[in-house]
Amino acid sequence: MTTAPPPPSQRHPPLSTVRQTVRQTVHPVSPSGSALHVAAETGDTKRAFVPPMTPQPLCIQGSSEVLRPVSELPSKFRSVFEFPYFNYVQSKALDDVFYTGRNFVASAPTGSGKTVLFELAIIRQLMETSEPWSDFKAVYMAPIKALCSQCFENWKRKFGPLGLKCKELTGDTEIDDFFEIQDSHIILTTPVHVVKDTTRGATLEVVVSRMKTVNVYRAVQNPKGAVSMRFVAVSATIPNITDIADWLCDTNGSATYLNMDESHRPVKLRKVVLGFPCSSSQTEFKFDLTLNYKMANIIQTYSEHKPTLVFCTTRKGAQQSAAVLAKDARFLMTIEHKQRLMKYANSILDSKLRDMLVLGVGYHHAGVDLSDRKLIESAFLEGDLPVLFTTRTLAMGVNLPAHLVVIKSTTTYVAGACEEYSEADLLQMIGRAGRPQFDTSATAVIMTKLETKDKYLSLMNGMEIIESSLHGNLVEHLNAEIVLHTISDVNMALDWIRSTFLYIRALKNPKHYGFSTDLDRQGIESKLQELCLKNLNALSSIGLIHMDEDINIKTTEPGRLMARYCVAFETMKQFSQITGTENLSDLTTLVSKSKEFSDIQLRTNEKRLLNTLNRDKNRTTIREERDRRSGLLNAACSDAQGALAHGVPPSAHTAASPGSAEMSGSGSGPGSDDDEGELVEPCEEDAQSSYQRMRMAMPVQPASPPVDYLQSLAPSPRRRRREVVAPRMEPLLHYASPSPPSAGSSSHGTASGLCGAKNP
Ligand SMILES: Nc1ncnc2c1ncn2[C@@H]1O[C@H](COP(=O)(O)OP(=O)(O)OP(=O)(O)O)[C@@H](O)[C@H]1O
């Protein structure tokens, strides 16, 4: 470090003094004056009073300990922080994250200001690097684009004036850009508890494990010259933070860690679980509808006249709930408030949303037109919109001023099947309640079935141990590591597995991973080795890797394609059986059966589009529809192919807002005709209808229509070796895909990087 800060003990006023100072100095963002209070009922309609929301002082959790001032930092860096004192969690972490360079992991409640810990780590590294910081690189990894974009905008503003360049890399980024994040000094990861997520979790785990492995190899090869990489990870409160610290170990041992429980949340959160009866004859869908009619009372009881965010499991559910509330409750607003809402409404494209907005109710989901979504977000952010119904797109770390968060139904739809929310998802949604700059207290209400009420009560109070999910996708990740050269022989594969979180947890909870509890450490290690070898053999059996007798491993062309496009092993197995004689219909049916498309469902509003495409004489159409999914895929293929063959532009629907058609068919109450035929929708993160996603997945280069493309994947001698423009698997949002051969590579993931402005 270039600057030695004075010893911490000389610098901190006692907490009581600090609290006083903070109350006087900090001006939290103030929502401009609206909150819902359903106050009285007149006939069927409840009357509501909406008082203006007053600015709240920042409430700081405390004890006899002291808060640390931002003035501890060299003056040059203070502008990064928009407050005079670090909060309790940050003050506790400061010594580890700022005054040492050890790997660090923090487990702290949502809204406790964990992003600041990343900023402190960056500043420390800057202080250790001489200017100009042209070689300095920090990489921030997050599982969704919205989180990354938020951080990107924030850091561009904060670190730009210091001479740092900020760059956002996502699954859409050109591969070459990913080379820029090689040789990073710091890897910042949030939220690390995502490792237990079945899809995104494994990707995070392998990216971090890969970086660890590469870091160790580099240090061995070049003990003096190699850039040493620091890991800083944050997570919501989890009980086994020490396992994460063990996983993020370095040559000095486990990472240092900070474990702060829910009591250290800067904004106190009241958690309420409400159970509602659901008869055996009632479908999930009908149950969800009945909850709409409870909403007005819940908002009246718990919102304390402040903004409410309601999480719904589907887009249609969000729209229907909003429509019911707009009909059921009336919000009393000042003239000025109404005028502000009217101003937003005038710019809203969707007529239903526009009508609701003037009544103080809005909805937000990935199917809503982008410009409408932005308007709704700012109306809510400004405190002008009393109630916002949304899908969980808004749940990941986005700061919104919700005093009350309601989770309407705990059942979500994944790949067309009902599933209860994971604890991590729930915590993220609940974490939107009571953000420090907006509130001093908050409430989260979970609406679930009577029989699951106890489960959620204990989930809210207890905490789930974080396990690895890597064993579920080990074969794909092993292949990726081989493509990236992290693994080039069997021994390296075993070293790599020892660097994973899977290894840490398998030793502690072997049963979870299918191993006998009687096994000792050595026994579990050999089981993990067996698992590794079994998967390597599976890859080799269909030509995805080549293993020689000296245990050396090399990748092959199909193996590279599998890794580049995140194709599942099972899909590659299906592709390996292609003989080259298949027609378009056979191939689209094959592709539609692949795991990657398993969450694609035909939506009610898409049937018409499908029929229109089938009737179009200018397009090649496959009539033989074996199931809805292949029907959709066929339509997508035909659309792309027809466009190529006849110079017809692809269907206008591919460019239109997916939400607009859908909205016009919804908003009805229970029992509407529309309800029964509606297929559930996949969980959403990107604004594409299933048709669009299929359409995007199709190659659209004239040289590679679908049949050629698929046949080119077949490991047959007739396969032509040529560049193919391959599908973008948008629904698969990974931290990283193994595109470029580097430790820091990531092609389907989401990352923001900070690097010195002069960096090439
Ligand atoms: N010391 C502080 N004083 C005042 N406000 C702060 C302080 N630290 C952070 N904040 C504000 O608190 C809000 C929450 O911070 P942040 O998003 O980093 O929390 P988090 O712990 O990462 O939350 P989540 O886990 O939900 O993503 C931000 O708006 C931030 O500006």
Dist. CA 437 → ligand 1 center (Å): 8
Name 40's bridge partners. 47
Residue with CA nearest ligand 1 atom 30: 113
Residue 111 in contact with ligand 1 by CB distance below 6 A: yes
Higher pLDDT, 293 or 718: 293
Residue with CA nearest ligand 1 atom 6: 113
pLDDT digits (tens, 9 = 90+) for 484-514: 888 888 888 888 898 899 999 999 999 999 9
Given CA atoms 623, 626, 627, 632 in this order, what sign does their dihedral have?
negative
Residue type, 645: A
Residue 320 in contact with ligand 1 by CB distance below 6 A: no
Please report which confidence band the pLDDT of residue 438 belongs to, taking 50, 70 and 90 as the band edges: confident
Q: What is the pLDDT of residue 95?
A: 94
Residue 605 in contact with ligand 1 by CB distance below 6 A: no
pLDDT digits (tens, 9 = 90+) for 519-576: 998 999 999 989 999 999 999 999 999 988 778 899 999 999 998 888 999 999 999 9
Same domain, 345 and 424: yes
For a mutational test of ligand 1's pocket, the pick from 116, 153, 189, 261, i.e. the residue with the most ligand atoms closer than 8 A to its C-beta, is 116
Residue 401 in contact with ligand 1 by CB distance below 6 A: no
Last residue within a domain, chosen from 509, 543, 575: 575
Instruction: Please answer whether residues 270 and 443 qualify as being in contact, where contact means their C-beta atoms are separated by less than 8 angstroms.
Output: yes
Residue 110 in contact with ligand 1 by CB distance below 6 A: yes
Identify which of 650, 642, 651 has the alpha carbon closest to the alpha carbon of residue 618: 642
Residue with CA nearest ligand 1 atom 27: 397
Q: Where are the beta strands (DSSP E) in 164-267?
A: 164-169, 186-189, 230-235, 256-259
Last residue within a domain, chosen from 711, 730, 750: 711
Instruction: Tell me whether the omega of the peptide bond preceding residue 191 falls within 30 degrees of 0, making it cis.
Output: yes
Residue 61 in contact with ligand 1 by CB distance below 6 A: no
Residue 266 in contact with ligand 1 by CB distance below 6 A: no
Q: Looking at the predicted structure, is the pLDDT value of residue 701 above 50?
A: no
Domain count, the chain: 4
Residue 705 in contact with ligand 1 by CB distance below 6 A: no
Q: What is the pLDDT of residue 619?
A: 65
Dist. CA 590 → ligand 1 center (Å): 47
- Rounded-to-integer distance, Cα 503 and Cα 441, Å: 40
Pull the structure tokens for residue 38.
């359903």
Dist. CA 57 → ligand 1 center (Å): 15
pLDDT digits (tens, 9 = 90+) for 675-685: 222 333 333 33
Dist. CA 378 → ligand 1 center (Å): 19
Q: What is the pLDDT of residue 227?
A: 64
Q: What is the pLDDT of residue 627?
A: 54
The predicted model gives 139-157 an average pLDDT of 83
Identify which of 511, 610, 568, 606 has the alpha carbon closest to the alpha carbon of residue 734: 568
Segments in 222-334 forming alpha helices (H): 241-247, 284-292, 295-302, 315-328
- Rounded-to-integer distance, Cα 496 and Cα 53, Å: 54
Same domain, 253 and 315: no
Residue 28 in contact with ligand 1 by CB distance below 6 A: no
Q: What is the pLDDT of residue 251?
A: 79
Dist. CA 154 → ligand 1 center (Å): 12
Same domain, 101 and 231: yes
Residues 6+ apart with CB under 8 A from 287: 276, 278, 409, 449
Pull the structure tokens for residue 528.
């993990």
Q: Is residue 167 part of a domain?
A: yes
The predicted model gives 191-196 an average pLDDT of 76
Residue 90 CA, closest ligand 1 atom number: 1
Residue with CA nearest ligand 1 atom 3: 83
Residues 6+ apart with CB under 8 A from 551: 489, 490, 491
Residue 308 in contact with ligand 1 by CB distance below 6 A: no
Higher pLDDT, 264 or 620: 264
10 Å CB burial of residue 444 (0-12, 13-18, 19+) is: buried
Same domain, 552 and 679: no
Same domain, 530 and 607: no
Instruction: Please answer whether residues 482 and 559 qualify as being in contact, where contact means their C-beta atoms are separated by less than 8 angstroms.
Output: yes
pTM of the model: 0.67
Domain that holds residue 102: 8-264
Q: Is residue 113 part of a domain?
A: yes
Residue type, 333: M
φ/ψ of 96, rounded to 5, equals -75, -40
Residue type, 210: R
Dist. CA 178 → ligand 1 center (Å): 29
Of the given ranges (181-185, 334-338, 586-590, 683-687), which has the lowest mean pLDDT?
A: 683-687
Q: What is the pLDDT of residue 169?
A: 79
Residue 92 in contact with ligand 1 by CB distance below 6 A: no
Residue with tokens 């501890």: 72
> Which CATH number goes with the domain that contains 500?
1.10.10.10
Three-state DSSP class for residue 552:
strand
- Rounded-to-integer distance, Cα 172 and Cα 130, Å: 34
Q: Is residue 755 part of a domain?
A: no
Q: Is residue 757 part of a domain?
A: no
The predicted model gives 649-669 an average pLDDT of 34
The predicted model gives 725-754 an average pLDDT of 30
Q: Looking at the predicted structure, is the pLDDT value of residue 138 above 70?
A: yes
Residue 87 CA, closest ligand 1 atom number: 1
10 Å CB burial of residue 736 (0-12, 13-18, 19+) is: buried
Same domain, 455 and 477: no
Q: Is residue 199 part of a domain?
A: yes
Q: Which helix (H) or strand (E) holds 692?
A: helix 690-697
Residue 58 CA, closest ligand 1 atom number: 4
Q: Is residue 737 part of a domain?
A: no
For a mutational test of ligand 1's pocket, the pick from 89, 97, 115, 425, i.e. the residue with the most ligand atoms closer than 8 A to its C-beta, is 115
* Total length of the chain: 760
Q: Is residue 514 part of a domain?
A: yes
State the complex-level ipTM.
0.98
φ/ψ of 315, rounded to 5, equals -60, -45
The HSE-up count of residue 460 (CA atoms within 13 Å, CB side) is 20
Count the helix, strand and coil residues of the chain and give each as a percent rounded to the nearest 5.
45, 15, 40
Residue with CA nearest ligand 1 atom 22: 114
The predicted model gives 618-642 an average pLDDT of 56
Same domain, 624 and 639: yes
Given CA atoms 597, 598, 599, 605 in this order, what sign does their dihedral have?
positive
Residue 431 CA, closest ligand 1 atom number: 26
Residue 86 in contact with ligand 1 by CB distance below 6 A: yes
Residue 383 in contact with ligand 1 by CB distance below 6 A: no
Residue 428 CA, closest ligand 1 atom number: 26
Same domain, 185 and 76: yes
Residues 6+ apart with CB under 8 A from 541: none
Same domain, 459 and 486: no
The predicted model gives 147-164 an average pLDDT of 88
Q: Looking at the predicted structure, is the pLDDT value of residue 19 above 80?
A: no
Same domain, 48 and 127: yes
The predicted model gives 638-654 an average pLDDT of 45
- Rounded-to-integer distance, Cα 718 and Cα 711, Å: 9
Identify which of 315, 425, 288, 426 has the alpha carbon closest to the alpha carbon of residue 665: 315
Pick left, alpha or beta for residue 416 (phi over 0 → left; psi -120 to 50 → alpha; otherwise beta): left
Residue 212 in contact with ligand 1 by CB distance below 6 A: no
For a mutational test of ligand 1's pocket, the pick from 437, 439, 440, i.e. the residue with the most ligand atoms closer than 8 A to its C-beta, is 437
Dist. CA 115 → ligand 1 center (Å): 6
Same domain, 197 and 337: no
φ/ψ of 224, rounded to 5, equals -95, -40
Residue with tokens 């620091």: 230
Of the given ranges (278-287, 396-405, 422-431, 653-662), which has the lowest mean pLDDT?
A: 653-662
φ/ψ of 621, rounded to 5, equals -125, 140
Q: Is residue 1 part of a domain?
A: no
Please report which confidence band the pLDDT of residue 371 belongs to, taking 50, 70 and 90 as the band edges: confident
DSSP string, 195-217: GGSTTHHHHHHHHHHHHHHHHHH
10 Å CB burial of residue 242 (0-12, 13-18, 19+) is: middle
**DSSP strand pairing (230-235 vs 104-107):** parallel
The predicted model gives 266-284 an average pLDDT of 87
The predicted model gives 642-656 an average pLDDT of 41
Last residue within a domain, chosen from 215, 238, 264: 264
Residue 397 in contact with ligand 1 by CB distance below 6 A: yes
pLDDT digits (tens, 9 = 90+) for 90-135: 999 999 999 999 999 999 887 788 999 999 999 999 998 888 887 7
Rg (CA), the chain: 27
> Which CATH number goes with the domain that contains 420?
3.40.50.300
Same domain, 342 and 313: yes
Instruction: Please answer whether residues 382 and 32 qualify as being in contact, where contact means their C-beta atoms are separated by less than 8 angstroms.
Output: yes
Please report which confidence band the pLDDT of residue 731 belongs to, taking 50, 70 and 90 as the band edges: very low
